[in-house]
Structure 1
Amino acid sequence: MVSEDRGQGHTLEGIAAALLIITSVAFALQVTAVTPLTASTASQHVETQYESAATGVLATGAADGHIGPTLRYWNESDGGFHNSSADGYYIGQAPPTAFGDDLAQAFGSAGVAYNVDVTFATESGTIQDRRLVHYGQPSDTAVKASRTVVLYDTDRILDANGTPTDTTLEDANYFAPDAYDGHLYNVVVVEVTIWRM
């Protein structure tokens, strides 16, 4: 009789333990949601490729001298970049410049979006941003790359055809102010943010 009670006790303990394990697994599966946006090794690899591509485009654009002219492709009368939206930046398209061509060639494929923002110092030493290209709100998996560009007082504003005008940055109504003494006008950071749509 004693051995039968002991056997029933072990059986009940086993059933209780099994129910506890099954309940824990069921709860864990409900709490953990796997979605198409869940990070995986494949998506991490794609994000790394996008980051490398953005870094490469910025490096090539700087080496070829494409970024500076795009920053100076400025319409003083409208207070925005030439041929841009009413907000003064490019919405859903690359600028019609050599750097814009670099961006379109690298990221113009379907399913890829990017923003380009310019950060600069003000005369008081605070930092401000200016949009250059805007495709929308980046996703949680967006990656960024940036490049520093030096602007000088004698750099000239470009007209709508991309031809340098007689107006230099120090004389222009430009988005970034002359924040430094001497020949240095401003030091800006161009940041590219890329994500899959």
Structure 2
Amino acid sequence: MGIVKLLSSFTNDETGQMHTLEAVMAAIIMVTVVVFAVQATSLTPLTSSTANTHIETQLKTQGYDIINSLDHSEYEQDSRLKNDLLNWDGDVYIWNGSSYISKSNQSKELNSSTAKTLEIIAVKRGIAHNVHFTYIKENGERYSSPYIYNGEPSDNAVIISRKIVLSNPDISNTSTFSSATGINNLNNSTDLYNIVDIQLTLWRI
């Protein structure tokens, strides 16, 4: 009788060990599944924050390409970007679906290198854009005037800027230019007229 009880005890111990081992294995499998699931849902190119970063990087690259191409100048020649600034009449232009037109006079179209480049690169790719001319007033404060305006930028907008130095010899009539654009002469005693920061803002709609 004692031998039977002893054998029964051994059998129960082995069964208990097997159940314990099965429980440990099940726990290990569950932990492995959870770890795999967490790793699988980490940031990928399809997640929101990474996608926004990717879009901003693309917009910056395109913006720098636009600014660099417009600001390129041949030997002893002004760049197209500077010429567009010098030929600005002070109006604000908006894209109407086919061309850039004056906000105050819809019969007047903007015919500039900046407008043509933005139409080819930005408009055809569905990229919204603004261009502002920021300059220094006589009192030392900075003032920004819109050149091309298409609405308020979104949260993923990027700004690329380029400074253009204007001197008195660049402007045929400083009084007319100042009156039309608001960009004034900083110092009449020198050839320096003003320094304009041209800001290009790009964002996805």
TM-score under structure 1 length normalisation: 0.64
Q: Tell me: CA distance 1:60–1:196, structure 2 relative to 1, closer, same or farther (3 Å).
A: farther
Higher relative contact order (CA 8 A, sep 6+): 1
Structure-1 separation of matches of 2:53 and 2:82: 37
Mark the CA change 1:95 to 1:7 in structure 2 (over 3 Å): closer, same or farther.
Answer: farther
Q: 1:106 to 1:60 in 2, by over 3 A?
A: farther
Q: Distance in 1 between matches of 2:92 and 2:152?
A: 21
Q: Decide which of 55, 58, 69 is 2:70's aligned counterpart.
A: 58
What's the offset of the Cα at 1:11?
1.9
> 1: distance between equivalents of 2:180 and 2:117?
27
One-letter code of the match for 2:85? Answer: L
1:151 aligns with 2:166: yes
Q: Where does residue 186 of structure 2 map in the other structure?
A: 179
> How much is the aligned-residue C-alpha RMSD, in angstroms?
4.1
Distance 1:150 1:11 in 2: 78
Q: 1:119 offset after TM fit, Å?
A: 1.9
Between structures 1 and 2, the one with greater strand share: 1
The equivalent residue for 2:20 is: 9
Instruction: Describe the SS at the equivalent of 1:131.
Output: strand
What is aligned with 1:130? 145
Higher helix residue share: 2
How many residue pairs are counted as aligned between the two chains?
180
Taking only the aligned residue pairs, the percentage that are identical comes to 21
* Aligned-partner residue type, residue 10 of structure 1: L
User: Deviations for 1:58-93, whole angstroms, at most 9, x for unmatched residues?
Assistant: 323796543334334225xxxx3586214x9x9xxx
